[in-house]
Amino acid sequence: MTYTLFCFKIRLPVIAYLREFGGKNLPWTEGTGSMGVVDEVKERIDIVDLISQYVPLKKAGRNFKALCPFHTEKTPSFYVFPHTQTWHCFGCNAGGDVFSFIMKKENMDFREALRFLAAKAGVELEKKPPEEIERVKVLREVLSVAADYYHRLLTDPEKGAKARAYLEKRGIRPETAEVFRLGYALDEWHNLEKYMTGLGYKREILLEAGLLIQREDGSGVYDRFRGRLIIPIRDEQGRVVGFGARTLDPEGAPKYINSPATPLFDKGRLLFGLDMAKESIRTQDMAIIVEGYMDVIQAHQMGFRNVVASMGTALTETQLRKLARYTKRFALALDPDVAGSEATIRALQLAEEALDKEAEPFIDPRGMLRFEERLKAEFFIISLPSGYDPDALIRESPERWEERVENALPMVDFYINVITQKFDLNSPRGKAEAVRTVIPIIQGIPGEIERDHYIHKLARLVKVDEMAIRREMLSLRRRKSRPRAKPTPSKEKAPAFGLEEYVLAQVLQHPHLLELIEDQMRALAIPPLDEADFAEVENRVLFGAWKASLDKGISQLEAFVDTLDPLLQERVHFIMEKARNSPPVPLEKLEQEVLNCALRLRGINLHRYLQEIRFLQEEAQERGDQEGVAHYLDLVKSQVEELATVHRALAQCSGEKARAV
């Protein structure tokens, strides 16, 4: 048997579909508290670490195995999959994520498990107390007062002369210094400290704001920034949250120092210049991302206002999400080495994946319910002449900068160019690596025709058969469709509304549907819908609770919601709200629709399960364990049969619907 069996198209056809993309109400801008917390916990807790605190895990290839803690057995059938952050027991068929494990193992409900895991992960669950809010207010005030003070020093005829001379040399005009509120810190150890304490601010808060540094022996404090040009860093709303400071000494090192991490200053979440760039980014429908403060300042001075800087770290998903509120088109003006580096490619791929997760249900012209991905982000790379950064290029010739921006290459073209230089395309290994590097980017392109174009281009370049590339794409997509891969830093991710949520919304609204669907599934020789069909822990818990509630005779949604934990209540409200906003399905079609979706959910679930088995089988193969291979083959067979049943049922469903239309 070969793996072509897995090529069943289970996932819904994902068609590029553009919905009101005004730019304002992008789906991920509606921050909600609860999903944030759950996601944050999942991000911070590694399933292998967690489970190994309960059961001794043994490495089995890429995965881990153990004797199942939930049933008695002599040979291990309990597996932990680090790449999906899930676990599964092939003996008793239990499985899930970190939450499911803790709920089962510690016998906790969802809320308790969340508390438990949040405490472990160091994630705060509760809303901030008033003292905390007050403290942040004072911190903001302190930073703003300090920024004003530094700025006054810069404009002081005598004291600021050296810094002003430096700015002039860098071609920064006084008006620009004014707009960015640039400043100067005197080359003294206690200047700012004296000024601020003179105003009544305590040293403690100045330390917390990162303005002072405590001596190591604890004997006192001193000013962090001395004899440097001060660049206030503001958040999106224009509030000062920290400072960058550049030495004025040509030999001085380090060239730049920044505020330390504080409750307000988190480099991974900030973009320098965004407060001033956001309107232009929106109107020009493009954000240009550069590396340095000076690049931004110079660009804005010359009227290129849609430019922001990434704060000297690799671009983070959070930063891109922020920008995505204003545009979905990003152009990166990076050092060619940086832009071509694997770290950048990986960061961009991660970002792209994160940005296009949202799937929205809609009814197509034939009356079929479909889920479509939102318009994806577009990335461009601005290539700079070697030896130039944006600051230098703009200063030398704004026209040349403009030209480079206009000729920015779509990311795919850029990387296709990069790989020709980077990989040895004459060796099979080089070819494979090149193909694997570019494929995820090609897959991110909306539009079949465009994708075809690039597949063709890649095939020609690497000199491999187009079909080989398509096969590789298929196998990569299968791997990608697993629940979630670490690491995915995404504190701000808004909850998704996909197939799971849709099914949940329908059965919550129409309790009788659930029973009808379960009967139909049984009639089709398919086990009825189960909690385990839901991959997201909240959906899983909600579905289980709703079923239990119906069994107890409580079918009133309000009464049910009242019994829920506040976090889950919020989740229900979110799901219902989204469901209300999606196109209505005529009642007579509803049962069919929901059955269809339930079957798809089962298909996805089986598919996930098959992939887990596939990994184990591959591992067995690698270590030459023929018995293991045979065992998994049996498992695969039975799962594939079940999957085939689901498929027949799905085909039947759509057949009936097609006739009905």
What token pair was written down for 562? 């009242």
Q: At what angle do helices 130-155 and 191-198 cross, to 10 degrees?
A: 120
Pick 5 or 92: Cβ nearer Zn ion: 92
Q: Around Cβ 496, how many Cβ atoms within 10 Å?
A: 17
Q: Rank residues 71 and 522 by Cβ distance to Zn ion and give the closer one.
A: 71
- How far apart are CB 94 and Zn ion at their closest, in Å? 6
The answer to whether residue 189 forms part of the interface with Zn ion (CB under 5 A) is no
71, 194, 512, 623: residue in contact with Zn ion (rule CB under 5 A): 71
Judged by CB under 5 A, does residue 92 bind Zn ion?
yes
| Residue 70 CB, nearest approach to Zn ion (Å) | 5
Stretch that binds Zn ion, among 85-93, 295-303, 325-333, 369-377 (CB under 5 A): 85-93
Considering the rule CB under 5 A, would residue 6 count as an interface residue with Zn ion?
no
Q: In angstroms, what is the minimal distance from the CB of 68 to Zn ion? A: 3
Q: Which is nearer to Zn ion, 86 or 318 (CB)?
A: 86
Return the exposure string of 539-571: e unless at least 16 CB atoms fall within 10 Å of the residue's CB, then b.
Answer: bbbbbebbbebbeeeeeeeeebbeebbebbebb
Nearer to Zn ion by C-beta: 11 or 105?
105
**Alpha carbons 242 and 147: distance in angstroms, whole number:** 9
Mask 190-229, x = binds Zn ion (CB under 5 A)? Answer: ----------------------------------------
- Distance between CA 469 and CA 487 in Å, rounded? 27
Residue 619 CB, shortest distance to Zn ion, in Å, is: 19
Q: How far, in Å, CA of 33 to CA of 374, rounded?
A: 23
- Can you tell me the distance from the alpha carbon of 258 to that of 586, in angstroms, rounded to the nearest whole number? 58
Decide: is 102 part of the binding site for Zn ion (CB under 5 A): no
SS3 363: strand
Interaction between residue 51 and Zn ion (CB under 5 A):
no
Contact call for residues 162 and 186 (beta carbons, < 8 A): no
Contact between 352 and 373 under an 8 Å Cβ cutoff? The reply is: no
C-alpha to C-alpha distance for 171 and 301, rounded to whole angstroms: 10
Q: Quick one: which segment of 81-89, 166-174, 252-260, 277-285 binds Zn ion (CB under 5 A)? A: 81-89
In the complex, the smallest distance separating the C-beta of residue 64 from Zn ion, rounded to whole angstroms, is 15
Residue 620, burial from CB neighbour count under 10 angstroms (0-12, 13-18, 19+): buried
Stretch that binds Zn ion, among 50-58, 60-68, 159-167, 201-209 (CB under 5 A): 60-68
Minimum gap (Å) between residue 503 Cβ and Zn ion:
27
Does position 68 interact with Zn ion (CB under 5 A)? The reply is yes
Start-to-end CA distance of the chain, whole Å, equals 39
Residues whose CB is less than 8 angstroms from the CB of residue 317 and which lie 6 or more positions away in sequence, other chains included:
350, 351, 354, 355, 488, 489, 490
Q: Select the span of 39-47, 88-96, 214-222, 448-456 touching Zn ion (CB under 5 A).
A: 88-96
89 contributes a contact to Zn ion by CB under 5 A: yes
- Contact stretch for Zn ion (CB under 5 A) within 86-94, 262-270, 376-384, 574-582: 86-94
Closer residue to Zn ion in complex, CB, 17/70: 70
Give CA–CA dist 232/228, Å, rounded: 12
Q: Which of 61, 91, 227, 628 binds Zn ion (CB under 5 A)?
A: 91
Q: Which stretch binds Zn ion (CB under 5 A): 62-70, 147-155, 206-214, 482-490?
A: 62-70
> Sign of the C-alpha dihedral, residues 568, 572, 577, 579?
positive
Nearer to Zn ion, 70 or 256 (CB): 70
The yes or no reply on residue 70 touching Zn ion (CB under 5 A) is yes
Tell me the closest approach of the beta carbon of residue 113 to Zn ion, in angstroms.
19
* Chain positions contacting Zn ion, by CB under 5 A: 68, 70-71, 89, 91-92
